[in-house]
Amino acid sequence: MNADLRTKAAIILGVILLCIFGLTCFHKGVDAKSRFRFPTSLTQLRENLGSRINLGLDLRGGIHLILQVQVDEAVNSETDQVAERLKTLLREQDIRFESTRKTDATHVQVLGVPLDQIGRARDFLQGTYGGDYVLGTLSGEQSGLVLEMTPAKMARIHQDTLRASIQTIDRRVNALGVAEPVIAEHGRGEWEILVQLPGVDDPARVKSILQSTAILEIKLVQDGPFPTESDALGKYGGILPPDAILVQEAPGAGAQTATSPQWYLIDRSAVVSGTDLRSARAEINPESGTTYQVSFNLSRDAAARFGPFTERNINRPLCIVLDNKIRSVANIQSRIDDSGRITGTFSLQEASDLALVLQSGSLPASIKYLEERAVGPSLGADSIRAGFTAVAVGFVAVVLFMLVYYRLSGINAFVSLLLNLLILMAVLAYFGATLTLPGIAGILLTIGMAVDANVLVFERIREELRAGKGVVSAVENGFDRAFTTIFDTNATTIIAAIFLLAFGTGPIRGFAVTLTVGLVANLFAAVYVSRAIFEFLLSRQGAGRPAALSI
């Protein structure tokens, strides 16, 4: 064997050993030392293989959800904020008015503006909201102005709400540790989100975490507690102060009894909200020793507001509101800068889930479940069996054809096909790519492309032999003539697969991954390895005799 062949043999052997090592000797252990495990039995080999290849939802099982974001809630929230913000802005401009109110999802009125200030108020509102709202004048008994949200502003809110919901759900799913989830926009114009979670064994918990809005607010308590809502309203003659709202305690919170949750009159505006959180974590409640609480830390900006606020309100009650329910109420005993806690009868999982939701941020709007499908492990096993049966049948049929049509040279094609599949699976294992049913279809297409490359080479060699060339010259010229065609065919298909990978979602990406890797492996196996095999076989034939080739 000459030096060139020895170099090729070393490269090919190194690739084979690297692939076998990646597929058989890694195991998902609990620590770094246990992740490498050489298989000593068929059971361990199967366990290591299953540990190295990530399976998609259609193979592993899990849940498939289609969610609809209630984007109109975000529009309502926007006009609520505008109505509240206008009170401060108009006072800062010394513009007199009686009240501001939202009349519907897209209209905000400023009532009781004196006639001599209408012009100045109009100019101010036009400069502040002119790009997003159309300004009009109220007619009738009360003088004032009205802001109407433009369709463009509404469309932006809808799109931003959908995008923020996808990002929040993605953070929550990643925090749960779900491998290779699919979270993407679904449908057109219906504000839907596709969520696929492979391997999830507790779909009820996941759904609860995904749909929780988890709007956290810290507010000052003005009055209470009251045994019932009617008692609170009765104290104020049925008319609450304009800057206050009535809120009920959540189950298991505060001082409520099992049969009579209490009510509090609290500030309408919050001094700190969920967006001000820097971190949240679950821990044991030191007061009970058996239940859990959620401790949180505030951002620097929030702490700068919260410290002076608590200092001004020492000995007054402060409440933590989560999803419009009071979780805890306590008197401010000293200045509080950057931390707090949410107490209640939480279990460890409930506290951990709440901390996860708070850490990932609140949803900008609620979500509605439109579709839910569970893919059980048995269905996944059936899919795996059917998919790999298809690959095996296709592989055997191709090999038999090559052996019959190209005689002993068909063994060369068999070896290159086998190496192609080995490299493909090893790359999936090394990079942690996910194998799906469309991915198996990509493997089948790769087999077809690999056979096509072998056929091109073999036919070029046969053409050279029919032209009277010697075997060695025919092999060299056959590979040289076929290489350009093989490279062009594979390169153009790889470019198409890369576009599918970049712009596709879900099943399309699974197909593109295996096709791209398989085609790159094909250039190595069908050209480099196949040529090395021919050169090795020809070098083993005795000197002085004309070389022979079964093709």
Angstrom distances, CA of residue 104 to CA of 73, 77, 80, 148: 12, 11, 10, 10
Is residue 489 scored above 90 in pLDDT? no
pLDDT of residue 50: 55
Is residue 510 scored above 90 in pLDDT? no
pLDDT band at 1 (very low <50, low <70, confident <90, very high): low
Encoded tokens for 8: 């090729």
How far is Cα 245 from Cα 248, in angstroms, rounded to an integer?
10
The CATH code for residues 212-371 is 3.30.1360.200
Question: What's the whole-number mean pLDDT along residues 106-123?
Answer: 87
Using a pLDDT cut of 70, give the percent of the chain over it.
84
pLDDT tens track for 412-445: 888 888 888 888 888 887 776 777 778 888 888 8
> Which of the pair, 86 or 339, is modelled with greater confidence?
86
Spatial contact of 538 and 530, defined as CB atoms under 8 Å apart: no
pLDDT band at 40 (very low <50, low <70, confident <90, very high): low
Encoded tokens for 548: 């022979």
Residue 28 host element (H or E):
none
DSSP state of 109: E
E strand spans, 268-383: 272-273, 277-284, 292-298, 317-322, 325-331, 339-346, 367-375
How far is Cα 396 from Cα 391, in angstroms, rounded to an integer?
9
Encoded tokens for 295: 């401790």
pLDDT tens track for 217-241: 888 999 989 988 888 888 888 888 8
pLDDT of residue 347: 80
The CATH code for residues 377-540 is 1.20.1640.10
E strand spans, 212-316: 216-226, 244-248, 263-267, 272-273, 277-284, 292-298
pLDDT of residue 368: 84
Is residue 33 scored above 70 in pLDDT? no
pLDDT tens track for 128-149: 888 889 888 877 666 788 899 9
In sequence order, the 6+-apart residues with CB closer than 8 A to the CB of 41 are none
Question: What's the whole-number mean pLDDT along residues 528-546?
Answer: 74
Closest to 530 measured CA to CA, from 458, 469, 432, 463: 458
**How much is the pTM?**
0.58
> Which of 170-179, 307-316, 335-344 reaches the highest mean pLDDT?
307-316
Q: Is the dihedral of CA 94, 96, 101, 105 positive or negative?
A: negative
How far is Cα 207 from Cα 210, in angstroms, rounded to an integer?
5
pLDDT band at 256 (very low <50, low <70, confident <90, very high): very low
Encoded tokens for 311: 């200092």
Spatial contact of 169 and 139, defined as CB atoms under 8 Å apart: no
Q: Which CATH number fits domain 72-152: 3.40.630, 2.60.40, 3.30.43, 3.30.1370?
A: 3.30.1370
How far is Cα 268 from Cα 43, in angstroms, rounded to an integer?
63
Encoded tokens for 73: 């809630």
Q: Is the dihedral of CA 127, 133, 134, 138 positive or negative?
A: negative
Q: Is the peptide bond before 377 cis (omega within 30 degrees of 0)?
A: no
Query: 23-37, 246-260, 389-403 — which is least confidently predicted?
Result: 23-37
How far is Cα 343 from Cα 254, in angstroms, rounded to an integer?
8
In sequence order, the 6+-apart residues with CB closer than 8 A to the CB of 39 are 24, 25, 45, 47, 48
pLDDT of residue 254: 52
Is residue 179 scored above 70 in pLDDT? no
- Residue 111 CB neighbour total at 10 angstroms: 15
The domain ranges of the chain are 1-52, 72-152, 212-371, 377-540
Q: Are strands 107-111 and 133-137 parallel, antiparallel or unpaired?
A: unpaired
Give 263: exposed, middle or buried? Use CB within 10 Å, 0-12, 13-18, 19+: buried
Encoded tokens for 241: 């102060």
Mean pLDDT for all residues in the chain: 80
> Which of the pair, 46 or 206, is modelled with greater confidence?
206
pLDDT tens track for 61-111: 788 888 888 888 888 888 887 887 888 788 888 888 888 888 888 888 888
Residue 263, beta-bridge partner list? 226, 248
Residue 266, beta-bridge partner list? 221, 245
DSSP state of 200: -
pLDDT of residue 544: 46
Residue 54 host element (H or E):
strand 54-55
Closest to 218 measured CA to CA, from 57, 55, 95, 341: 341
pLDDT tens track for 435-487: 777 888 888 888 888 888 888 888 888 888 888 888 888 888 888 888 888 88
Is residue 264 scored above 90 in pLDDT? yes
Spatial contact of 155 and 106, defined as CB atoms under 8 Å apart: no
> Which of the pair, 67 or 551, is modelled with greater confidence?
67
Residue 55 host element (H or E):
strand 54-55
Closest to 369 measured CA to CA, from 126, 85, 105, 169: 169
Is residue 199 scored above 80 in pLDDT? no
Encoded tokens for 6: 């020895």
